[in-house]
Amino acid sequence: MIAFLTGKDLEKYGLSWMPTLMSDKQMVLPIDTVKYQAQEVVGVLASSRYAAADGVAAVEIDYEPLPVVVNPYKALEAGSTKVRDDKDSNHIWHWEVGDRAATDAVLKNSHTTVREHIYIPRIHVASMETCGIVAKWDAINKHLTLYMTTQAPHAIRTVVALITGHLGLSEENIRVISPDIGGGFGGKVPVYPGYVIATAASVVTGLPVKWIEDRSENLQADSFARDYHMDCELGADKDGRITALRIKTVADHGYTDAAANPSKYPAGMFSICTGSYDFQTAFTEADAAYTNKPPGGVAYRCSFRVTEASHAIERMVDIMAHERGEDPADFRMRNFIKPEQFPYKSALGWEYDSGNYHVALTKAMDLIGYRELRKEQLEKRQRGELMGIGISSFTEIVGAGPSKDFDILGIKMFDSAEIRVHPTGKAIARFGTKSQGQGHETTYAQIIAEELGIPADHIKVEEGDTDTAPYGLGTYASRSTPTAGAAAVMGARKIREKARKIAAHLLEAADDDLIWDTNKFYVKGSPDKSKTIQEIAFAAYTNHPQGMEAGLESTFYYDPPNLTFPFGSYICCVDIDRGTGQVSIRKFVAIDDCGTRINPMIIEGQVHGGLTMAFAPAMMEQIQYDSDGNMYGGTFMDYMVPTAVESPKWITGGTVTPSPHHPIGAKGVGESPNVGGPPAFANAIVDAMWHLGVRHIDIPITADKVWMLLNKHGVALAE
């Protein structure tokens, strides 16, 4: 054992609390009060994991039960137990967008209105490779190196510099390296106490210090996602056109607001909740509450609360269609934004770049055999069997910036690419983003190969080292392709323009007389007079025109003019066992549109993984708390993660509607399946039981929940 570190020790350095990304503050180690079950209480430093475990076992904490509040509605009541001594109440923020009065009036006068309370419970990334750090303080050079599991290394470097400035640490002496970190999914954006403790311990002891969570610690104490309680109301006229939408949300953030949203958007991009539908009146508001739980609200494979928004609108649209006795596909087709309406200004202020929703849904319906399934459903229903079909036609919103609206802790959201072409025509490209298995090494190289004609396997892609990569905001919220992907295109084009000048010099021709073709410039009218990119690269270092800077490289910071709006239509078909309540997913079809597809195989992989991560919260995963604040779902005995055995088979396909503002028309894709998936399952299951009187079931839709409903409606089989 080397040392024990307590909150009191950290307090001496002003480090017992740290700022969160949402300008709140979070305990690194407590001094006298813990805020939730499984909170870190002391740091034990030892020279081996075993010794550290012995040290942990030797720690004795004298806990005294204190009143807690775990229900966010109760937390917001006057006189509730206060979670934070430094705050006046448990109310963190109120946020609203849209026209409240107009929405109230339109809903009041609508021919049909449907209301539902929809809850999306806490879930967790449940990392296989957990969060960790190796902090190495070099006292001689006053230099700090942090090897850490972060999705945003540059932002971390700046934050570390800002919060440790008073200790003499300066940004040029901080190097953050994010190596292969396992999956991120939003859970590796926040700063966790373990990172700070390891760093402080390295500074104090002068030794390199490693911290790594085990999977239980990761599951119980890291940031959570969702926990949104939504009261939704949707109106339609007598012809079945949507008139207005209102959603009032209570967001449970745990004991601090440590979500990772852009500063201006405390509820993330929730205002995409008008979805794929054309109507002009909407209002949404959210109130966030402190409760005695770990911090929550990370964008778990979701572009900041879009999964919640998408679930709300897709469930409400389905309820409305059923209420009207209409086929949910027909209802959607009537209400979709039409292709000619793009760019489309939504009721809550977003400008959708492009879309073709009718085609995506038609393709999904053809692929699954929708009309035949509906016939089969009717026949089965007559035999007393339960079968359901659910649709989700979602619109995503990804690619933050533009920097005029998006920042994290004041750091503007753009992204970057630095490309260097070496004399032999090979290249290295570095980015401000950070792949966590999404395959940037492949797709960025493909983008540059396409623009410069250098074979992709001659292009080395690097990310994640703040000493070498250009500044960027990292990878989460499917932002890499819309931002750094675009920077790669623009940077490569800058290089091509310089290459044109060098080729003109070599060919003794005018710049304007040169034509670019795949990997070379040739002289207009004389295709045999040409110089390949490799010849040009060599000349850039050996024979460049006098007066021109030598070398062939570029750095490009891309600030997107708008977000991109990928979309898709998913259809799920389920059978329900009346004896057990077990739901079997018979077929699931996913049609995704992410604009221009850079690498279809990678997209396929993203969609397969994302759909499995949608199936998980729809059918299995949740973390609950009892009224004393005890956690249920803190181990893999009761936090049900799907394995290959439970996961359905996915049938995937796509349409291509390029983004008009991205330089190659690409939109993000990584999160679409997670955003669009859950309501497809929920809609299918409710569809199977609507005729019994079931209107809504909160996810996860477990067999016991279904069986209870079947029993309530008198159709559960006894044996």
The distance of closest approach from Cβ of residue 446 to ligand CDP in the complex, given in angstroms and rounded to an integer, is 8
Size of the site for ligand CDP (CB under 6 A): 24
Q: How many other C-beta atoms can be found within 10 angstroms of the C-beta atom of residue 659?
A: 26
Which position among 311, 479, 500, 520 is part of the footprint of ligand CDP (CB under 6 A)?
A: 479
Which position among 146, 320, 669, 685 is part of the footprint of ligand CDP (CB under 6 A)?
A: 669
The distance of closest approach from Cβ of residue 275 to ligand CDP in the complex, given in angstroms and rounded to an integer, is 20
Element (H or E) spanning 416, and its range?
A: strand 415-421
Binding mask 295-314 for ligand CDP (x = CB under 6 A): --------------------
d(CA 554, CA 487): 10
Q: Which stretch binds ligand CDP (CB under 6 A): 55-63, 79-87, 579-587, 589-597?
A: 589-597
Which position among 121, 439, 648, 658 is part of the footprint of ligand CDP (CB under 6 A)?
A: 439
Identify the CA nearest to 275 among candidates 198, 352, 208, 342. Answer: 352
Which position among 193, 470, 595, 679 is part of the footprint of ligand CDP (CB under 6 A)?
A: 595
Nearer to ligand CDP, 216 or 596 (CB): 596
Which position among 186, 187, 296, 668 is part of the footprint of ligand CDP (CB under 6 A)?
A: 668
Nearer to ligand CDP, 551 or 653 (CB): 653
The distance of closest approach from Cβ of residue 131 to ligand CDP in the complex, given in angstroms and rounded to an integer, is 18
Which position among 495, 504, 594, 689 is part of the footprint of ligand CDP (CB under 6 A)?
A: 594
The distance of closest approach from Cβ of residue 158 to ligand CDP in the complex, given in angstroms and rounded to an integer, is 20
Three-state SS at 201: helix
Three-state SS at 245: strand
8 A C-beta contact, residue 602 and residue 438: yes
Instruction: Report if residue 706 touches ligand CDP, rule: CB under 6 A.
Output: no
Nearer to ligand CDP, 302 or 573 (CB): 302
Instruction: Report if residue 603 touches ligand CDP, rule: CB under 6 A.
Output: yes
d(CA 270, CA 226): 12
Nearer to ligand CDP, 281 or 481 (CB): 481
| Tokens representing residue 258 in the block | 């440590």
Q: Which stretch binds ligand CDP (CB under 6 A): 95-103, 254-262, 473-481, 707-715?
A: 473-481
- CA distances in angstroms from 395 to 118, 257, 414, 457, listed in the order given: 19, 27, 22, 35
| DSSP codes joined into one string, 470-520 | PP---S-TT-TIIIIIHHHHHHHHHHHHHHHHHHHHHHT--GGGEEEETTE
Nearer to ligand CDP, 589 or 607 (CB): 607
| Tokens representing residue 225 in the block | 């996602």
Instruction: Report if residue 602 touches ligand CDP, rule: CB under 6 A.
Output: yes
**Which residue in the block uniquely carries the two structure tokens 């508001």?**
285
Burial of 74 (0-12, 13-18, 19+ CB in 10 A): middle
The distance of closest approach from Cβ of residue 593 to ligand CDP in the complex, given in angstroms and rounded to an integer, is 9
Nearer to ligand CDP, 186 or 328 (CB): 186
Binding mask 481-500 for ligand CDP (x = CB under 6 A): x---x---------------
Which residues are within 8 A (CB) of 1 and not within 5 positions of it... i.e. 6 or more apart?
A: 44, 45, 46, 51, 52, 54, 55
Nearer to ligand CDP, 256 or 659 (CB): 659
- Of the candidates 213, 308, 621, 671, the residue annotated as catalytic is 671
To the query of whether residue 151 is one of the catalytic residues in this protein, the response is yes
Cβ burial 589-603 (10 Å sphere, 16+ → b, else e): bbbbbbbbbbbeebb
Do the bridges between strand 415-421 and strand 427-431 make them parallel or antiparallel, or are there none, so unpaired? antiparallel
Instruction: Report if residue 72 touches ligand CDP, rule: CB under 6 A.
Output: no
Which position among 71, 81, 89, 596 is part of the footprint of ligand CDP (CB under 6 A)?
A: 596
The distance of closest approach from Cβ of residue 296 to ligand CDP in the complex, given in angstroms and rounded to an integer, is 21
| Tokens representing residue 679 in the block | 């309501």
| Tokens representing residue 330 in the block | 């027909």
- Of the candidates 301, 430, 479, 597, the residue annotated as catalytic is 301
- Of the candidates 151, 438, 606, 622, the residue annotated as catalytic is 151
Instruction: Report if residue 666 touches ligand CDP, rule: CB under 6 A.
Output: yes
The distance of closest approach from Cβ of residue 353 to ligand CDP in the complex, given in angstroms and rounded to an integer, is 13
C-alpha torsion sign, points 333, 338, 342, 346:
negative
Instruction: Report if residue 450 touches ligand CDP, rule: CB under 6 A.
Output: no
The distance of closest approach from Cβ of residue 671 to ligand CDP in the complex, given in angstroms and rounded to an integer, is 7
**Which residue in the block uniquely carries the two structure tokens 């956690």?**
631
d(CA 522, CA 502): 12
| Tokens representing residue 54 in the block | 């012995």
The distance of closest approach from Cβ of residue 594 to ligand CDP in the complex, given in angstroms and rounded to an integer, is 4
The distance of closest approach from Cβ of residue 698 to ligand CDP in the complex, given in angstroms and rounded to an integer, is 28
Instruction: For Cα atoms 507, 511, 515, give the angle at the middle one, nearest 5 degrees.
Output: 80
**Which residue in the block uniquely carries the two structure tokens 């958007």?**
265
The one-letter code for the residue type at 4 is F
The distance of closest approach from Cβ of residue 669 to ligand CDP in the complex, given in angstroms and rounded to an integer, is 4
Nearer to ligand CDP, 266 or 610 (CB): 610
Identify the CA nearest to 669 among candidates 507, 493, 513, 482. Answer: 482
Three-state SS at 246: strand
Which position among 90, 130, 335, 606 is part of the footprint of ligand CDP (CB under 6 A)?
A: 606
Which position among 218, 438, 466, 655 is part of the footprint of ligand CDP (CB under 6 A)?
A: 438
Q: Which stretch binds ligand CDP (CB under 6 A): 26-34, 637-645, 665-673, 703-711?
A: 665-673
Instruction: Report if residue 657 touches ligand CDP, rule: CB under 6 A.
Output: no
Which position among 598, 616, 618, 675 is part of the footprint of ligand CDP (CB under 6 A)?
A: 598
Nearer to ligand CDP, 194 or 482 (CB): 482
Helix extents (H) in 12-110: 49-58, 72-75, 100-109
Which position among 158, 218, 256, 480 is part of the footprint of ligand CDP (CB under 6 A)?
A: 480
d(CA 608, CA 592): 11
Nearer to ligand CDP, 66 or 601 (CB): 601
d(CA 268, CA 405): 12
Element (H or E) spanning 252, and its range?
A: strand 242-252
Which residues are within 8 A (CB) of 126 and not within 5 positions of it... i.e. 6 or more apart?
A: 215, 218, 219, 621, 636, 639, 641
Nearer to ligand CDP, 455 or 551 (CB): 455
514 forms beta bridges with 523
Burial of 262 (0-12, 13-18, 19+ CB in 10 A): buried
d(CA 202, CA 420): 36
Q: How many other C-beta atoms can be found within 10 angstroms of the C-beta atom of residue 173?
A: 14
Nearer to ligand CDP, 318 or 593 (CB): 593
Instruction: Report if residue 443 touches ligand CDP, rule: CB under 6 A.
Output: yes
Q: What are phi and psi of 220, to 5 degrees?
A: -90, -25
Which position among 670, 677, 679, 700 is part of the footprint of ligand CDP (CB under 6 A)?
A: 670
The distance of closest approach from Cβ of residue 399 to ligand CDP in the complex, given in angstroms and rounded to an integer, is 8
R_g over Cα of the chain: 27
Which position among 440, 496, 520, 531 is part of the footprint of ligand CDP (CB under 6 A)?
A: 440
To the query of whether residue 301 is one of the catalytic residues in this protein, the response is yes
Nearer to ligand CDP, 614 or 669 (CB): 669
- Of the candidates 302, 572, 573, 594, the residue annotated as catalytic is 302
8 A C-beta contact, residue 415 and residue 402: no
8 A C-beta contact, residue 673 and residue 607: yes
The distance of closest approach from Cβ of residue 662 to ligand CDP in the complex, given in angstroms and rounded to an integer, is 9
What residue ranges bind ligand CDP (CB under 6 A)?
Answer: 438-440, 443, 475, 478-481, 485, 594-599, 602-603, 606, 666-670
List residues with catalytic annotation: 151, 301-302, 671
